[in-house]
């Protein structure tokens, strides 16, 4: 493999760029190292057939849905509770419980106000406004769906009933509702961790001891394969970490070496998948973990940048993580 530095080319270190050139049987890939140097790596393609297969594989990997299908990582994990009853970016736990009861618009408008006075907010909460418009709140497909759970209804009845009487901001302390709020939060936390067997120590170790979201995702991925928490779907966690490693995210330009290495390990365990696609992905990630000594730009970052509306990176896991954390804090 021949390498050379092309001088005079201005490229931002924070932008993922890939360019492909065809010159007879040569294939060039543009990469960027951590010192901002520009390099071209040329790979010989031995035959027209191999070139065609390589380009077809590359095109498949540029399509996130095609990747998941080729690897047998179907997205039916979103059909199971609790994820089937969550919505992306709907992470105010109280509204999931409120939605199980009939409320009026006049009551709702009090809850979504901020309070700039010196009235105390509940622990770990701010005085800022929470919630959306009444119309958005009532749209099950956009925001908070109605959860069908008798246990949750029973645990939340007093909490929501008192909220209706209180007529104040959702996070403003109501001394008559403190105990009810804790019980409701504890019940919702149990629902979120349904069949996952997380103890108090595990919750602290995973969700609170390290604030780095990569760490949380990696720990959940490892636990799903160890069967420490049987309710965690290993395909769900692998799909999320794989999407991050390949395409990145709006707020996540660089991916940790450790996450990529764990993903490669888990990909090797897959059965009944497209081996060519799998090997291509593993080589891509291993190239970056061996070449770069620090977090790296995902190899297909440009796909997310261009087609972000078509890519589901987290499959509601970040909403779930935030809800697990906030309900746990509200329950203690």
Q: Are residues 275 and 188 in the same domain?
A: no
Poorest-confidence range of 55-64, 121-130, 234-243, 296-305? 55-64
The secondary structure of residue 80, as a DSSP letter, is S
Does residue 53 lie in a domain region?
Answer: no
The pLDDT of 285-294, averaged and rounded, is 84
Mean pLDDT (the chain) is: 82
Cα distances (angstroms) measured from residue 277 to each of 64, 91, 207: 12, 35, 33
Point out the domain boundary residue: 165, 192, 219.
192
Percent of all residues in the chain with a pLDDT value above 70, rounded to a whole number: 83
Point out the domain boundary residue: 175, 192, 209.
192
Contact criterion met (CB below 8 Å) for 143 and 137: yes
Q: Are residues 201 and 187 in the same domain?
A: no
The secondary structure of residue 330, as a DSSP letter, is H
Q: Are residues 140 and 268 in the same domain?
A: no
pTM: 0.81
Q: Are residues 242 and 281 in the same domain?
A: yes
Q: Are residues 217 and 185 in the same domain?
A: no
Q: Is the pLDDT assigned to residue 44 strictly greater than 60?
A: no
- Per-residue pLDDT tens over the stretch 309-320: 778 888 999 999
Q: Are residues 221 and 277 in the same domain?
A: yes
- Per-residue pLDDT tens over the stretch 191-226: 999 888 888 899 999 999 877 888 999 999 999 998
- Please give the residue range of the domain that contains residue 95: 90-192
- Report CA torsion sign: 155, 161, 164, 168: negative
- Per-residue pLDDT tens over the stretch 130-142: 998 999 898 877 7
- Count: domains in the chain: 3
Separation of alpha carbons 317 and 320, rounded Å: 5
Point out the domain boundary residue: 160, 192, 224.
192
Contact criterion met (CB below 8 Å) for 112 and 170: yes
Buried b (16+ CB within 10 A) or exposed e, 86-119: bbeebbbbbbbbbbbeeeeeeebeebbeebeeee
Does residue 55 lie in a domain region?
Answer: no
Q: Are residues 74 and 218 in the same domain?
A: yes
């Amino acid at each position: 493999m021949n390498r050379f530095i092309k001088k005079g080319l201005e490229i931002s270190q924070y932008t993922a760029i890939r360019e492909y050139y065809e010159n007879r049987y040569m294939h060039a890939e543009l990469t960027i190292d951590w010192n901002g140097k520009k390099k071209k790596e040329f790979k010989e393609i031995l035959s027209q057939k191999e070139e065609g297969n390589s380009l077809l594989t590359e095109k498949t990997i540029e399509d996130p849905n095609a990747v998941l299908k080729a690897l047998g990582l179907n997205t039916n994990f979103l059909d199971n509770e609790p994820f089937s009853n969550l919505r992306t970016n709907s992470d105010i736990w109280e509204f999931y419980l409120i939605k199980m009861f009939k409320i009026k618009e006049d009551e709702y408008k009090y809850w979504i106000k901020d309070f700039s006075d010196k009235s105390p907010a509940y622990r770990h909460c701010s005085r800022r406004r929470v919630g959306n418009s009444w119309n958005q709140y009532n749209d099950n497909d956009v925001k908070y769906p109605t959860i069908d759970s008798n246990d949750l209804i029973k645990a939340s009845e007093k909490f929501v009933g008192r909220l209706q009487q209180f007529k104040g901001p959702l996070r403003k302390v109501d001394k008559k509702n403190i105990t009810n709020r804790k019980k409701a939060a504890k019940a919702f936390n149990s629902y979120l961790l349904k069949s996952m067997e997380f103890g108090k120590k595990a919750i602290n170790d995973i969700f609170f001891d390290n604030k780095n979201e990569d760490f949380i995702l990696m720990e959940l991925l490892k636990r799903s394969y160890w069967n420490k928490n049987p309710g965690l779907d290993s395909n769900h966690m692998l799909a999320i970490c794989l999407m991050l490693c390949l395409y990145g995210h709006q707020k996540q330009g660089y991916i940790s070496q450790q996450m990529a290495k764990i993903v490669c390990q888990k990909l090797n365990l897959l059965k009944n998948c497209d081996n060519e696609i799998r090997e291509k992905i593993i080589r891509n990630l291993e190239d970056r973990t061996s070449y770069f000594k620090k977090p790296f730009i995902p190899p297909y970052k440009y796909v997310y940048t261009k087609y972000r509306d078509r890519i589901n990176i987290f499959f509601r896991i970040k909403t779930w993580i935030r809800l697990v954390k906030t309900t746990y804090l509200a329950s203690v």
